[in-house]
A = this chain, B = another copy of it.
Amino acid sequence: MASGMTVAVVGATGAAGQATLRILEERKFPVRELRVFASERSVGKTVPFRGEPVRVQKIEPGAFKGVQIAFCSAGSVQSKAYAPMLVRAGAVVIDKSSAFRMDPNCTTIVTVMPLKPLHDAGRLRRVIAVSYQAVSGAGVNGIAELREQTLAWARGETIQPRHFPHPIAFNLIPAIDRFGPDGYTAEEMKLVNETRKILELPGLLISPTTVRVPVFTCHSIAVTAETERKITPAQARELFERFSGLKVWDDPTQERYPMPVEVEGQDDCFVGRIREDLSSPTGLNFWVVGDQLRKGAATNAVQIAELLLG
């Protein structure tokens, strides 16, 4: 183990793949050999890792031979094709896509961080979650679209939306992913189903609203959470502070609360605006922000690998 592992990153040129490479570096993950894979059109390009360019390889028979740990963030179609090949080659696959389970949705991960300690202390009964989701949740195309539309605005021009169904610069799109028959989007139902799954609470009442906002990185969620046993704001603050991966930024006198531009690049999630819900006797309101390329995706995947390594 000291000499390190053979690690593959599939989808290495995407937003989550690039973040995975940065986080493997930062966390000094024991990588002896790194192989990076992406779609055909990226083959031959390089991505940087520990200051060296690493060439993107073609996925072909034998390419995965000897891989011990693989991070897949290439999308669910690719994961369905490549994960079985990686497993046959003997690799442990940490798959960020929705191919083999419910999507470990990046908004859900951020939302669940404060819900877990609250539930352990007071048993969750009902959650109303309203999101403010960054364009990076839609990958590099989402980031490029906000950037291009904003630069066009600065030049006095307009640009037709390509990646999102509507303009995103200086706008809000209150719908992410396709609609189901009940008027909820797939993104909203992921938030319901994944939260229930992660917290092991299949009957938890959850009301989701997901909205795309003109922010580059970090998802923010306004949460109203009702528990069976009342948790005061002071108790919640203490529970959150003690929970690994969660930090409290909550000082109104200093205008201190989590904001996307400050949370960007952080591995932890940040919670603030912790206050009693004025509309229920055992409710709490709070605001949680997480860098969904890190905690919401790549950091979480590397943390899983670290747990596997013991």
**Residues of A with Cβ closer than 8 Å to B?**
126-128, 130, 132, 146, 150-151, 153-154, 165-167, 170-175, 179, 182-184, 192, 205-209, 211, 213-216, 220, 222, 224, 233, 252-253, 255, 257-261, 272-280, 283, 285, 287
Cβ A183 vs Cβ B275 within 8 A: yes
Cβ B215 vs Cβ A170 within 8 A: yes
Cβ B182 vs Cβ A276 within 8 A: yes
Most chain B beta carbons < 10 A, residue from A126, A128, A287: A128
Q: In the complex where A209-B287, A215-B214 touch, is A170 in contact with B261 (Cβ < 8 A)?
A: yes
Cβ A172 vs Cβ B130 within 8 A: no
CA distance A150 to B149 in the complex (A): 12
Whole-angstrom distance between the Cβ of A247 and the nearest chain B Cβ: 16
Contact of A278 among B146, B206, B211, B252 (CB under 8 A): B206
Cβ A207 vs Cβ B172 within 8 A: no
Whole-angstrom distance between the Cβ of A181 and the nearest chain B Cβ: 9
Residue pairs across A and B with Cβ atoms less than 8 A apart, 5 shown, are A171-B215, A172-B260, A179-B253, A183-B273, A211-B222
Whole-angstrom distance between the Cβ of A182 and the nearest chain B Cβ: 6
Whole-angstrom distance between the Cβ of A263 and the nearest chain B Cβ: 10
Interface of A is mostly: mixed
CA distance A154 to B147 in the complex (A): 9
Copies in the complex: 2
Q: In the complex where A150-B154, A154-B151 touch, is A174 in contact with B272 (Cβ < 8 A)?
A: yes
Cβ B277 vs Cβ A175 within 8 A: no
Residues of B near A150 (CB, < 8 A) are 150, 153-154
Contact of A222 among B127, B174, B205 (CB under 8 A): B174
Residues of B near A224 (CB, < 8 A) are 128, 207
Cβ A257 vs Cβ B174 within 8 A: yes
Contact of A261 among B171, B174, B273 (CB under 8 A): B171
CA distance A153 to B179 in the complex (A): 35
Most chain B beta carbons < 10 A, residue from A154, A167, A280: A154
CA distance A269 to B130 in the complex (A): 20
Q: In the complex where A207-B283, A209-B287 touch, is A220 in contact with B172 (Cβ < 8 A)?
A: yes
Most chain B beta carbons < 10 A, residue from A192, A213, A279: A279
Cβ B213 vs Cβ A259 within 8 A: no
Cβ B132 vs Cβ A213 within 8 A: yes
Cβ B215 vs Cβ A184 within 8 A: no
Cβ B126 vs Cβ A280 within 8 A: yes
Residues of B near A255 (CB, < 8 A) are 165-166, 175
Closest to A261 in B: B171
**Knowing that A174-B259, A175-B257, A179-B253 are A-B contacts, what are 9 other residue pairs whose CB atoms are under 8 Å apart, sorted by A's residue number?**
A132-B172, A132-B213, A167-B261, A171-B215, A171-B260, A172-B215, A172-B220, A174-B257, A183-B273
